[in-house]
Structure 1
Amino acid sequence: MKKFGLLPKLILGILAGIAIGKMKVLFVVELLATFNNIFGSFLGFIIPLIIIGFVAPGIGNLGKSAGKLLGGSTILAYVSTIIAGSFAYVVDTNIFPKLLNVGSFILHDTTNPEEALVKSLINIKIAPLMDVMTALVLAFVLGLGIAYLKEDTVKKFMDEFQLIVEGTIKSVIIPLLPFHISGIFANMTYAGKVEMIIAVFAKVFVVIIILHILILLFQYTVAGSLNGKNPISLIRNMLPAYFTAVGTQSSAATIPVTLAQTKKNGANDGIAEFTVPLFATIHLSGSTITLTSCSLAIMMLEGMNFSFSSYFGFILMLGVTMVAAPGVPGGAVMAALGLIQSMLGFNAELSSLMIALYLAQDSFGTACNVTGDGALALIVNKFAGFSLDKANK
C-alpha cells in the first residue's frame, strides 16, 4: 500500500466501506465503529494541538506583518462565506420552484440519521486539553507574541512542538485515515438512513453539489489569476483533501492533508501553516451553501414566506455563528440551529428535518470548505509578497 498515494487509498477506503456496509455483517461494522470511536476521540484530542502547533509558529515566523495578515485572512474568509451563501440564495430561488412542488410538504420522517448508526463496542473518550476556539485564541496570542518579541525561548519551544505535531500527523493520522473513512462509510451504508434522505431530496442535493463546484471554480480562478497558475491544476492537487473531508466530515480533522496539498500547490510554508488551520475554523463557504439550500428547500415545501432582505441577515450571522464548528462532524448545523429557529421561524419538527438533511450531505459541504481553504491560502500567499514555489510541487 505504500506505493499508492493518499488519494487512491482514500477512494479505496470509501469503496471498501460501502462494500462492507452492503454485506450487512453487524459484528464487522461494530468493529469498525469501535476503531472509529477510538481514532475519532484521538483526533478530537489532537486537533487543538495541531492548531496551536501550526498557527502559533506560522504567525511568529511572519514577523511584524503577522497582525495585518491575521486581520486580512479573517476578513477574506468571512467575505468568501458571505459570497457563497448569497450565490446559493440567488440560484436556489430561481431553480427550486421548478424542481420542487412548492407548498406540498409531505415528509414526516424527521429522524436524525445518526440515531440509526451502529454503536461502538466500547466507548473511549480522550478529552482534549481545550476546545477549538480556545486553541485558536491561544495560538493567536502566542504567535503574535513571538512575532513582536525578540526573545527566542518561546519560538524555539513552539518550533519543536510543531515538529512533534508534524511527526504525529505523518506517523499516525495520515496512515490511519483511509481505515477511519472506510469505517464511516460502512456504518452509513449499513444504517441506510442517510441513503433514504438523500433519495428524497436528491434534486436538492444535486444542486448543492453543483453550487459547491462552481464556488470552488470561482475561488481557484481568483487564486490562480493572482498567482499566474492554472486553477484546474491547483484544484487537482487539492483532491486528496476533498476526499479526506468527504470521509471525516471534519474540516479540522482534514487539516494535515489540506496543509500538505496547499504546500504542494506552492504556498510558502509559513503562510500555509498559518492560514490552513485558521481557515479550517472560520471559512465556511461549503457549509453555508448547504445550510442555505436545505433551509430554502424546506421553506418552499412548507410554503413559508421569505425575501432576500430578510434572508441575507441569516447568511451574515451564519458566517459568525459557525466559527470553529467545522471541527466537529455536523457541528455547523448544530451551531446554526438557534439562527434557523429564531431568524427563519423553524419549529422543532422542521429543525429536526433540517439536521437530518444537513447531516446526510455534511461530507460534501465540509469537502468544499477545506478545498476552498487552499484557494484562500494562495490568495493570502500572494498578498504577503510570496510567489508559488515550484520546488514545493
Structure 2
Amino acid sequence: MKLLFKLIVGIIIGITVGSLYYGVDATGGLDTFLTFLARLFVTLESILGSFIFFMIPLIILFFIANGISKIGAGSGKVVGATLGTAYLSTLGAGLLAYAVSMFIMPKITDGGSVPEEGTALEPFFEFEIAPIMDILTALVLAFAFGIVITLTKSQLMEKWFEEGKNIVEFLIEKVVIPLLPFYIAGVFAGMASQGTIFRTLAVFGVVLLVAVILHWVWITIQYTIAGIALGKNPFKMIKTMIPAYFTALGTMSSAATIPVTLRQTKENGIRNRIADFVVPLCANIHLSGSTITIVSCSIAVMTVLPEYQLPGFMSMFGTILLLGIVMIAAPGVPGGAIMAASGVLMTNLGFNEAAVAFMIALYMAQDSFGTATNITGDGAVSAIIDAYEQKLNKKA
C-alpha cells in the first residue's frame, strides 16, 4: 500500500509538472525553470525505463528456469494435472477478459480518439542500456535449462539459477520497485506536456472497475467447476475463501497469504496432502486475476493511445498463451506480474515505453484485487485436483 501511495504521488507530481509546462508553452511564453523541470522528469523516465527494460529478460530467464527446476517432486500425474489446471485457468481468464474488453473498452474510451496536442518534450540526453537478450530468447533458454535441470538433476545448475533468481529478485525489490514512482512521474510529465493527459486518464477509473468485476465473474466460474467436481455448493466454497481474499487485499502478496489460503482451502474439505502441495505451487504459477487485469487494461491502453489498433483474435490469443507461461516468472513482489508480462506486451503487441508505463500504473492501482483473485482461485484449483486424485485412486 505504501508503494501504491508513492505511485499515486508520482503520477500527481508528473501531471502537475507536465501541465504547468504545457500551460506556459500553449500561451507562447517561455519559462526556463518549468522547461528544465519538465525535461528533467522526461530524462529520468528515459534512464529508469532503460534499466527496467534491461531487467525483463533476466526476470524471465531466472524465474522460469528456477520454477521449472523445482517442479520435480511429487506424483507425476498430480503435478501435471496441477500445472495443466492452473494454465487452463489462466488461459480461460485471459480469453474472458479479451471477449468482454473488445466489446466494452472501445465504448468506454470512445474508440480511443485522443488528439495529439503540444510538442513532445525531449530528454537532455539518451541513456540506453541494451538488454543482453530479447524476450523470446530468454523464454526458450529458461525452458531449455529448466527442463534439462529437472531431467538430469544437476544440483550445480539448479543452485546457479536459484542464486541468479535471488539476485534478480533483490534488484527488483531494492532498485526497480523503489524507482517506479520516479519512472511513472517522468512518463506522465511527458504526456501531460502534450496536453492530452486528462482526457486520457478520464476513462481508466471505469476500466479498472470492469477488471475487478471480471475478477469476481472468474472466481464464480472457477468455483462452479470445482463445486461440480467435488459435489459441493460453489457459493459456500467461495464464502469460506473470503478471509483469504481479504488477507490478499491487504498484503498484495500471494506468498504472504499462503497460510490463510491453506487454512480456508482445508475448511472447504480439501484433503491436507492435496492442499499442502497445490496451494504453495499455485501461489507461484496460477495468476488468473493478474492475467484478466493485464489483458483488459492492455486493450484499454490500445484504444486510448492513438498509435495502436485493436488486435485480432489470433494475435491476442498468442499473447494470452505466452502470458500464461510468463506468469510463472512473476516475481513475488507488488507489481511483479506486470514486470514479467511487459516483455510479452512489447514483443507481441508492440507496446512502447509510454504504453508499458500506463500498464504499470493501471496494474498497480488494482494489484491487491488481482492478487486476491489469484489466491482465491488457488482454492478452486485445489478442489479440482482433489477430485482428480480421488478418481485416480478409485481406478487404481
Report the TM range for the smaller structure's normalisation: 0.5 to 0.7
1:68 to 77, 87, 92: 77
2:268 to 242, 246, 265: 265
Structure 1 distance, partners of 2:266, 2:249, is: 21
2:368 to 358, 363, 372: 363
Q: 1:76 to 1:337 in 2, by over 3 A?
A: same
User: How much has 1:104 moved relative to structure 2?
Assistant: 2.6
Structure 1 distance, partners of 2:391, 2:383, is: 9
User: How much has 1:105 moved relative to structure 2?
Assistant: 3.5
Please tell me whether residue 79 in structure 1 is matched to residue 74 in structure 2: no
Q: 1:104 to 1:199 in 2, by over 3 A?
A: closer
Please tell me whether residue 98 in structure 1 is matched to residue 107 in structure 2: yes
Q: Kindly indicate whether the alpha-carbon contact (under 8 Å) linking 1:102 and 1:301 is maintained by their aligned counterparts in 2.
A: yes
User: How much has 1:103 moved relative to structure 2?
Assistant: 2.4
Q: Deviations over 1:343-392 (max 9, x none)?
A: 111111111111111111111111111100100100000111089xxxxx
Aligned to 1:385: 390
Q: 1:351 to 1:382 in 2, by over 3 A?
A: same
Q: Kindly indicate whether the alpha-carbon contact (under 8 Å) linking 2:262 and 2:279 is maintained by their aligned counterparts in 1.
A: yes
User: How much has 1:327 moved relative to structure 2?
Assistant: 2.0
Aligned to 2:257: 254
Please tell me whether residue 212 in structure 1 is matched to residue 215 in structure 2: yes
State which structure, 1 or 2, has the greater radius of gyration over its C-alpha atoms: 2
1:89 to 91, 95, 98: 98
User: How much has 1:252 moved relative to structure 2?
Assistant: 1.5
SS at match of 2:390: coil
User: 1:1-393 counterparts in 2 under 5 A?
Assistant: 66-105=75-114, 201-303=204-306, 304-305=308-309, 306-325=311-330, 327-385=332-390
Structure 2 distance, partners of 1:106, 1:342, is: 26
| 1:291 alignment partner AA | I
TM-score (norm 2): 0.59
SS at match of 1:318: helix
Structure 2 distance, partners of 1:337, 1:106, is: 26
Structure 2 distance, partners of 1:250, 1:222, is: 25
How many percent identity over aligned positions? 51
The list of structure 1 runs, each at least 4 consecutive aligned residues, that deviate by more than 3 angstroms after superposition, is 105-108, 196-200
Structure 2 distance, partners of 1:230, 1:107, is: 53
Structure 1 distance, partners of 2:202, 2:228, is: 38
Structure 1 distance, partners of 2:203, 2:257, is: 29
Q: 1:277 to 1:235 in 2, by over 3 A?
A: same
SS at match of 2:376: helix
User: How much has 1:106 moved relative to structure 2?
Assistant: 6.9
Q: Deviations over 1:67-92 (max 9, x none)?
A: 11001110111011001101110011
Aligned length in residues: 261
| 2:357 alignment partner AA | S
| Structure 1 residues without counterparts, runs of 5 or longer | 1-13, 19-47, 61-65, 109-132, 145-187, 189-195, 388-393
Structure 2 distance, partners of 1:199, 1:223, is: 38
Q: 1:347 to 1:225 in 2, by over 3 A?
A: same
Q: Kindly indicate whether the alpha-carbon contact (under 8 Å) linking 1:102 and 1:302 is maintained by their aligned counterparts in 2.
A: no
SS at match of 1:384: helix
Q: 1:200 to 1:93 in 2, by over 3 A?
A: closer
User: How much has 1:289 moved relative to structure 2?
Assistant: 0.3
TM-score (norm 1): 0.59
Aligned to 1:161: none
Structure 2 distance, partners of 1:198, 1:233, is: 38
